[in-house]
Amino acid sequence: MSSFHSFDDIKKAIANNETDCKAIVNHYLKNIQAKAHLNAFVEVYTHAALEQAAVIDSKIASGKAGKLAGMVVGIKDVLCYAGHEVNSSSKILEGFESQFTATAVQKLIDEDAIIIGRLNCDEFGMGSSNENSVHGKVLNAIDESRVPGGSSGGSAVAVQANLCTVSLGTDTGGSVRQPAAFTGIVGIKPTYSRVSRFGLIAYASSFDTIGVFSTNVKDNALVLEVIAGPDEYDSTVSKKPVPNYSELLNFSKSAKVAYLKETLHSESLQEEIKSNTIAVLERLKQEGHQVEEVDFPLLEHVLPTYYILTTAEASSNLSRFDGVKFGYRTPNAHNLESMYKLTRAEGFGEEVKRRIMLGTFVLSASYYDAYFTKAQKVRRLIKEFTEDLLTKFDYIIMPTTPSTAFKFGEHSNDPVAMYLEDLFTVQASVSGVPSVSIPNGEDKNGLPIGLQIMANSFKEADLYAFADYLMESNN
């Protein structure tokens, strides 16, 4: 069976009786086995996926199949799936089996998508390289000496290497968009509250967003329209109607596009990424779109604001993992206090411990106002500035990342250098607006370059249409 380039290809092959769901699942299982060394999958649901496929084949035959029949999906190892293990790629949740299914995953299943397995990631979603996983690092299929990006590195590589049709990841500060850029695929962070967070193991609750990886915009849009929308289990999710994004991809208007001067003049920006981004902006001008340079004086404050707030929320969220009720418990304890201390010291990885300590520090009585309260105020300024820009312009364009995929170990001993990999993605996360990364050529080493596009809150339909237009222009 030849590789499918899109879900449309799969649907067409099924409609023409050229294949069925069981054959499609077997195709992906064969690919997963052949590329097991990439370490994208933590666990493959071989039997469950084949059983699902058989049921869906029967539904197709009777004309009762859902809109995702034939789509094979991988889910990041932070999303709960009843009866299956989930451990956020952390020793602290070793052997933990989920008692319920995340709403986003359930909505896919309800439309007859097939869940093929859970995907490797940085521990609790904390990282930009997928080097912080208890399951080991994920390899970038284009160059196996380089990182796939993080934290959703396994989700990105699974789509990049044709191990599933689409995958779900999570994006707290760029964890979908950055891996999408490093692997040459499409990745979206929707508006915060567009998708229910029920069943997502929390890192930073006011930032965490479930996103989608795909090889093309239409598949991405289709999945988002299925998983988005209200949920009785999540009081923070929006009740706004969900458009049929996949049917609204025709882009024919003249757009007003802003680009941030500070991003293109950043000292850390790789020259090829800069030139490829400028080339897109110049092409848009030639095609009659309004393109303007704007100042974003708050850029230098976005990353510190993000890390102060997310580490504070992580410190609070991860306090529940203490060895008492579930997950790993140290065998070396001699009293209750040592059980708490040793369980957390042995169960969490170095990066997670670093962020918990930072978060505990900024929440401490002596520093709460100096750091946490001030960061909340700066967050509001960044959000207001971004939303104001997006009332004047339809889109903001910038590079997704300052560099292409770096080599394993390159930033391992320098946390600040690693954190700077999020420099361009955190603005959308701090502001809560939707943002998508699409492929934008390659550097001299053949490594993918990502282009990031932001739109105003709940403007995913416009964002997808413009992204699709730009991808078609690139081809």
Q: Give the count of alpha carbons within 13 A of 395, CB side only.
A: 28
Q: Are the C-beta atoms of residues 168 and 136 closer than 8 Å to each other?
A: no
Q: Are the C-beta atoms of residues 419 and 307 closer than 8 Å to each other?
A: yes
Residue 48 parent element (H or E): helix 46-61
DSSP secondary structure letters along 73-137:
EEEETTB--TTSB--TT-GGGTT-B-SS--HHHHHHHHTT-EEEEEE--SGGG--SSS-S-TT-P
Here the tokens at position 140 are: 């970038």
> Is 175 among the residues known to form the active site?
yes
52: which DSSP letter?
H
> Is 338 among the residues known to form the active site?
no
CB atoms within 10 A of CB 61: 10
CA distances from 340 to 87, 100, 352 (A): 19, 27, 16
Question: Which amino acid does the sequence have at 329?
Answer: R
Residues linked to residue 97 through DSSP beta bridges, in sequence order:
85
Closest by CA position to 202, among listed 92, 316, 289, 293: 316
For 88-122, give one letter per residue: b (16+ CB within 10 A) or e.
bbbbbbeebebeebbbbbbbbbebbbbbbbbbbbb
Signed CA dihedral, 80, 86, 91, 94: sign only: positive
Query: From the candidates 151, 431, 437, 457, which is the catalytic residue?
Result: 151
> Is 151 among the residues known to form the active site?
yes
Q: Are the C-beta atoms of residues 163 and 278 closer than 8 Å to each other?
A: no
Here the tokens at position 101 are: 């299914």
Query: From the candidates 88, 89, 98, 175, which is the catalytic residue?
Result: 175
Closest by CA position to 119, among listed 165, 175, 158, 149: 158
Q: Are the C-beta atoms of residues 96 and 86 closer than 8 Å to each other?
A: yes
Closest by CA position to 236, among listed 211, 209, 268: 209
Query: From the candidates 76, 107, 189, 218, which is the catalytic residue?
Result: 76
Q: Are the C-beta atoms of residues 269 and 303 closer than 8 Å to each other?
A: no
The rounded Cα 16 to chain-centroid distance in angstroms is: 34
Residues acting as catalytic residues = 76, 151, 175
